[in-house]
Structure 1
Amino acid sequence: MTSERGKVTGFVLVVAAIAAIAGILFGFDTGVISGAILFINEEFSLTSVMTEVAVSSVLVGAIIGALFGGPLSDRVGRRSSILAASVIFLIGTFVVVLSSLFSIFLIGRILIGIAIGIASFVAPLYISEVAPESIRGALVSLNQLLITIGILIAYGVNFYFAAAGDWRAMFFAGVIPGTILLIGMYLMPRSPRWLVFINRPDAAAGVLQKIRGTPDVSEELNDIVKSVREEGAGTWSDLVAPAVRLPLALGVGLAVLQQATGINTVIYYAPTIFQFAGLAEATASIAATVGIGIVNVLVTLVAIWLVDRAGRRPLLLWSVAGMGIAMLILGIGFALSNSSAGQMAVSLGLVTAIGLIIYVASFAVGLGPIFWLIISEIYPLSVRGLAMSLATVTNWAANFIIAATFLSMVNLIGQSGVFLLYALVALFAWLFIFKLVPETKGMSLEQIEAYFRSRAHRRLGGEEKGVE
């Protein structure tokens, strides 16, 4: 690795920051429904099941967007895919705001979901392919930072319009980041690795020269060209190739576990959870949720500072451990509140606030940003779009299942039972990470690809010797 290759320029920071605005769309829509749903329920007279449909309908769209986003990003490019996502997001937002029927509202939510399903993985993919390896972790994690900022903005917007109960204005505020992303990405370059992938090495060299701030990019370009020639163009069947099996298992496993530990239950239903704990007023529960959003942003900043210093693996392990402890606190707190011991001095509202703060802080320092970073790093270039698409589809599908069943699970096993179940999942997630997730800090994408290829060769060699 040369010093020029790892050089950090102002332009690459701008490129990463603009692409990361896609995270605001993701975060804003994730957060805005948590407050808006309190008033949507009143306007459309929703049952518990219909409320779950209203919240989770966006996830149906996200699954569709993630499924088709991989082939789309390989066919038309990472930049064009993000542009398409921003247009779909704006259309979906206007459909939601202008809807007079619940069915029209759901169509708009699904369109928004398609947009964030595409953007949720194409943005970190694009950033990982333009970033120097020395700060790739921090730059890709910018996307997660802006997701948290998007959530916080949504909480603030919810609080501002809560007194009037104007849920349409809450959603309409999303037009601002959607428009900024559309204009900003139009001015950004294409991914140099994608340009090599479609056999345009000269154009890739021009982009590399601009983002690295040097005319000599031959070493990096040669590594990318060599990687493409060795792998060729990928297909869905290539995802089961020996060198891809472990990365695929890691991505899909982390995708499920990130959601199964309950994060989007907390984000979508935070005001509802505070109402469970005794904050009956909508404005009060939304205000309490704003504090959770602030913690999310601040700790994500810490994660960005740590990820290229402490590494991915240690942060993941500490993160999941903290999430499990937080869910244990919530589970015990709600259990005690429903028993004779519920007359304890500490109020359930305070226990809930402490548990949620620990949980969100733990998620933000590790599993939140590092999942998206890991899946942008570990796949070969030839199948990177497809593999990230599959991992993202899995993530959104798990998100859908968790969001669509939360209230039903609460009715079935109680608030305490749900939180204790999430704590058990966190324990399994810790064991999964400890056993399987490698450290990728400081490695180029090509070096990571070579690592998994050599590991597959060693494993196959051992299997052949065993047969002999």
Structure 2
Amino acid sequence: MSDQLTTTKRSTGTALTNTIAAISATGGLLFGYDTGIISSALLQLKAEFHLDTLGAEIVTSAIILGALFGCLGAGTLSDRMGRRRTVMVAAALFLIGTVMVATAHSVAMLITARLLLGLAIGAASQIVPIYIAEISPPEKRGRLVVGFQLAVVFGVTVSFVTGYLLRDHSWRIMFGIGMLPALILFVGMVFLPNSPRWLAMRGRHDEARDVLRKVRPSDEVAEQELREILEGHDEQAPWSVLAKPWVRPAVIASVGIALLCQLTGINAVMYYAPTIFSGAGFGQDSALLTSVAVGCAMICATLFGGWAVDALGRRTLLLRLLPGAVVSLIILGGLFAFHLTTGIGAWLTVLAVMGYTVFNTGSLSVAIWLIGAEVYPLSCRGKGMSLVAGSHWGADLVISLTTLSLVEGLGAGGTFWLFAAVNALALVFIARYVPETKGKSLEQLEASLKNGTFAPVAKAQKQANLQTS
């Protein structure tokens, strides 16, 4: 009878954890859809609003600028209000922004609506991965947090498919579809529990215990985890703690991954793929279909990454896949540089884009939100994740504002070769500064920061010192 109760409790806890992760990840779906739909809608917006290259870049980038401010503000907000309520605020902003963008009749209103959507996206990117990570058990944390990124790329793919199917209809419908997942997110979060770690940080230990008992396989496991949280718990820290030497390795690793996720070019391909391919001689319909294929490749890569982060490890996944992204971009750059994008070259171009998408999305895009949510101490996790998300959106803003200009200045071939070089540099950075976090509790990772064994280069140096002493 006791074994049956334990099995039932384990199944109930797993089901609740999965439900929490799934509903929370709807924020990722909105993130992906609202950032991705612009690539299809832009073809209509440029004609209706008479947008030149700069105008197209501003409309595209407005959402990124909003996301930059949204993620920076969400850190303090989530520490005060809680992870769950902050997600609800983001859902409300998604709803308001979607209504505004779908009814915009001027460039100014369009940009304002996109800024508001950006605030929601920035907040969601900061808080949803933390909420999922803080409520998940260590052995499942990887794939559950990657579920957020899976929702992002699924949202991007849905936006590409929607853009293709509605290519002969109004762009307003394309944007308006985003209201449904925003409603699901807002209503769903009403019924979910608070993060047990946030509750513990606020001194609400009994409430933290109750949540842990609901999402863990036994009361004993819940009690042990609560003890570890309380033993390693510090008071809520100010922003200045992120500059302290013992926290700095977490900042370097997480912010480095966040910057490289964008500087390696993945969103340049996502945002401007139809425009780039149209300029290379593809018809408009073919360009949109290529974007759908890119989205499907992103989903497959993220599904693989969601398995691999727990089976192989975060660091191992990054080091194994990124070389493929470098090779794909070198080939892609050559096809454009030597004008080989017609005939059989057109198919080679699509395959190179797909290869790059799989290798880059399956590594950096999978790891960014997971590593950012894992590596910071509880006392500054919200602020640390704000810094991660802010770095991501800041780099994204630079990429979205400059990609079309880079293509015009360097040519598509030169632009892709530049991204190949950045992907190669990413390999060196990961080898030196990004630790393996697979299977470790959040409290164990915090302990490695405090004892100086967090970064691979520091850990290797410490081991060498011990051997020679």
Shorter-normalised TM range: over 0.9
Q: Which TM-score applies when normalising by structure 1?
A: 0.93
Where do 4+ consecutive residues of structure 1 move more than 4 Å? 3-8, 456-462
Q: Structure 1 residue 72 and structure 2 residue 77: aligned? A: yes
Q: Structure 2: which 5+ runs fail to align?
A: 1-5
Query: How far 1:218 moved relative to its partner?
Result: 1.4
Q: Structure 1: which 5+ runs fail to align?
A: none
Which residue does the alignment assign to 2:202? Answer: 198
**Residue number among 258, 261, 274 corresponding to 1:258 in the alignment:** 261
Query: How far 1:274 moved relative to its partner?
Result: 1.8
Q: Is the 8 A contact 1:27 1:151 kept in 2?
A: yes
* 2:243 alignment partner AA: V
Which residue does the alignment assign to 2:242? Answer: 239
Cα pair distance change 1:36/1:457, threshold 3 Å: closer
**Residue number among 191, 202, 211 corresponding to 1:207 in the alignment:** 211
Which residue does the alignment assign to 2:3? Answer: none
After superposition, residues 134-283 of structure 1 pair within 5 angstroms as 134-164=139-169, 166-216=170-220, 217-228=222-233, 231-281=234-284, 283=285
Deviations 1:164-211 (A, max 9, x none): 2x1110000101111111111111100000000111000000000111
Query: How far 1:284 moved relative to its partner?
Result: 2.4
Q: Is the 8 A contact 1:155 1:293 kept in 2?
A: yes
After superposition, residues 68-467 of structure 1 pair within 5 angstroms as 68-164=73-169, 166-216=170-220, 217-228=222-233, 231-281=234-284, 283-337=285-339, 342=340, 347-455=344-452
Which residue does the alignment assign to 2:61? Answer: 56
| Aligned-partner Cα distance in 1 for 2:148–2:388 | 17
Query: How far 1:258 moved relative to its partner?
Result: 0.7
| Aligned-partner Cα distance in 2 for 1:85–1:104 | 20
Q: Is the 8 A contact 1:124 1:143 kept in 2?
A: yes
* 1:169 alignment partner AA: I
Query: How far 1:322 moved relative to its partner?
Result: 1.7
Q: Is the 8 A contact 2:67 2:119 kept in 1?
A: yes
Q: Is the 8 A contact 1:334 1:348 kept in 2?
A: no
Q: Is the 8 A contact 2:407 2:415 kept in 1?
A: yes
Classify the secondary structure of the residue corresponding to 1:233.
coil
Q: Is the 8 A contact 2:35 2:63 kept in 1?
A: no
Query: What RMSD over aligned residues (CA atoms) do the two structures have, in Å?
Result: 2.1
| Aligned-partner Cα distance in 1 for 2:186–2:345 | 44
| Aligned-partner Cα distance in 2 for 1:404–1:333 | 24
Q: Is the 8 A contact 2:25 2:128 kept in 1?
A: yes
* 1:243 alignment partner AA: W
Classify the secondary structure of the residue corresponding to 1:243.
coil
* 1:129 alignment partner AA: E
Q: Is the 8 A contact 1:274 1:349 kept in 2?
A: no
Cα pair distance change 1:288/1:314, threshold 3 Å: same
Query: How far 1:214 moved relative to its partner?
Result: 2.7
| Aligned-partner Cα distance in 1 for 2:126–2:315 | 20
Cα pair distance change 1:6/1:73, threshold 3 Å: farther
Q: Is the 8 A contact 2:142 2:310 kept in 1?
A: yes
Query: How far 1:48 moved relative to its partner?
Result: 0.3
Query: How far 1:456 moved relative to its partner?
Result: 6.7
* 1:67 alignment partner AA: L
| Aligned-partner Cα distance in 2 for 1:432–1:98 | 45
